[in-house]
Structure 1
Amino acid sequence: MRFKYIGIIYAVVIVGIVAASSQAQSVEQKPDFGAYYYHKKSLFEALPNTSNEIILLGDSITDGNEWSELFGSSRLKNRGISGDVTEGILYRLSEVTESNPAQVFIMIGVNDLARGIPVDTVLSNYGKIIDQIREESPDTEIYIQSILPVNDEFPQFSSHTDKTSQIKQANVGLTELAKKTGATFINLFDDFSTAEAKLNPNYTEDGLHLNGQGYVVWKSVIGSYMDL
């Protein structure tokens, strides 16, 4: 009997260890996109879906605008998260597609480049984003917005603002990807650039993000593509 009880205790301990290990592995498998990312992701998941949504999807440059107020339409939904990358978009994309939005305007990639992620990887992830939207919400119109220029004359975001050549390369690839997939490419780069291909200082305070006037310019370009 003594050995039987020891065996039972041993089995319980093993089950407990396995369960704890499985739980630890589950926690470890959650991508480390940062607390702000998960706060915003959980908020987006809690917000109600509405019909005919127009979604602006991206990182801090999208996150920083009051889109519905700027356009005067509650159909516009801001799905930007500061610091986000293409992998982060993929991880949260089902929340975007579950409302079967009328249109999705995507801008993502500058944070990838700042972290040393190759242009080819950015383009590959973009392809996955488009494929997933097509699969989960086939009637959604997809708009790929070019990555904006940056300006290295500002010191705040030096890991981002020295990526002009990679940004140009990525935008060429995004143009081709749009043609290949039937998405619409919107060239914002030229509208925001100086003659030296730098982000116009009239539209930024830090060489990366946009000020109010910058968002007004953005509106003037993409407004004609929006089904408002």
Structure 2
Amino acid sequence: LFARSLTLTLMALLSINGFAAEKSEHNFDRWEKSISQFEKQDQEQGVKTGGILFVGSSSIRMWDLDKYFPDQPVLNRGFGGSEIVDSTHFADRIIIKHQPKLIFLYAGDNDLARKKTAEEVSNDFKQFVAKVHKSLPETRIVFIAIKPSLSRWKLADTIQKANKLIAAQCAKDDLLEFADVWEPMLGEDGKPRPELFKSDGLHMEHAGYLIWKKAVQPYMDQK
């Protein structure tokens, strides 16, 4: 009985330690191919500066910005599956050198799905802001609210908590804004509108991006 108890205790400790290690380790190398492609694009087309830069995860990557904002100097630096910390880590290579006057960040979705807490996501945004403003102290940053989705609706409470924490940060800084896409993407039943999403229930159709365009346009129009 003692041996069995000891074995179970050791297994529990190993499980806890394994979980902690899994949560603390972050593999930035997995994005190297995507980041290198951006750098190759800069070499071929020249480094565009002073415009409006969108960065973040797949909801940004899949957004045809030139189609939705044909009259704006937009640049897409989204890389699918990424978290806020990834955009911070690669900021020098994909953000800072472009010296954007305005940045739209969408991330946090994947972060929470990978067991980060709302507080951790909020703190990661704070670190992103610090990284950008260290080199670009006058650049405005707009955080696009973590969206509701069919496939991650079980995370709704945590997402809303993270959004509230980040919105509170933005309210305290004149250079930060919070673009709310949460409410417009919900139906009368209070759940995500199915027609806004692709078959995976996570990524968006044209109708979803129209909502996003309406949410971010006012910040583009500000002088």
TM-score range, shorter chain: 0.7 to 0.9
SS at match of 2:53: strand
What is the deviation of 1:87? 1.6
Q: Match for 1:91 among 86, 89, 92?
A: 89
Give 1:91's aligned amino acid: H
Q: Percent identity?
A: 23
Q: How far apart, CA to CA, are the structure 2 residues paired with 1:196 and 1:181? A: 34
* Pairing 1:197-212 to 2, within 5 Å after superposition: 197-205=190-198, 206-212=200-206
Structure 1 stretches of 4+ with a deviation exceeding 3 A read: none
What is the deviation of 1:199? 2.1
What is the deviation of 1:74? 6.1
Give 1:67's aligned amino acid: L
SS at match of 1:225: helix
Q: TM-score, normalised by structure 2?
A: 0.79
Pairwise CA RMSD of aligned residues?
1.9
Q: Match for 2:54 among 56, 61, 78?
A: 56
For the 8 Å contact 1:150–1:208, the answer to whether it is kept is yes
For the 8 Å contact 2:181–2:211, the answer to whether it is kept is no
Q: How far apart, CA to CA, are the structure 2 residues paired with 1:102 and 1:214? A: 26
What is the deviation of 1:168? 0.5
For the 8 Å contact 1:145–1:185, the answer to whether it is kept is yes
Partner of residue 143, structure 1: 142
Q: TM-score, normalised by structure 1?
A: 0.77
Give 1:92's aligned amino acid: F
Q: How far apart, CA to CA, are the structure 1 residues paired with 2:164 and 2:100? A: 27
Q: How far apart, CA to CA, are the structure 1 residues paired with 2:169 and 2:58? A: 23
Partner of residue 65, structure 2: 67
For the 8 Å contact 1:161–1:208, the answer to whether it is kept is no
Q: What per-residue deviation string (whole Å, max 9, x for no partner) do you get for residues 114-166 of structure 1? A: 00011111111100101111111112111111111112xxxxx4xx3421111
Q: What per-residue deviation string (whole Å, max 9, x for no partner) do you get for residues 61-86 of structure 1? A: 11111101221146111111110012
Is residue 186 of structure 1 aligned with residue 185 of structure 2?
no
Partner of residue 225, structure 1: 219
Q: In structure 1, list runs of 5 or more residues that go unmatched.
A: 1-29, 152-156
* Pairing 1:10-159 to 2, within 5 Å after superposition: 31-33=26-28, 35=30, 37-46=31-40, 47=42, 48-73=46-71, 75-94=73-92, 95-151=94-150, 157=151
Please tell me whether Structure 1 or Structure 2 has the larger radius of gyration of its CA atoms: 1
Q: In structure 2, list runs of 5 or more residues that go unmatched.
A: 1-24
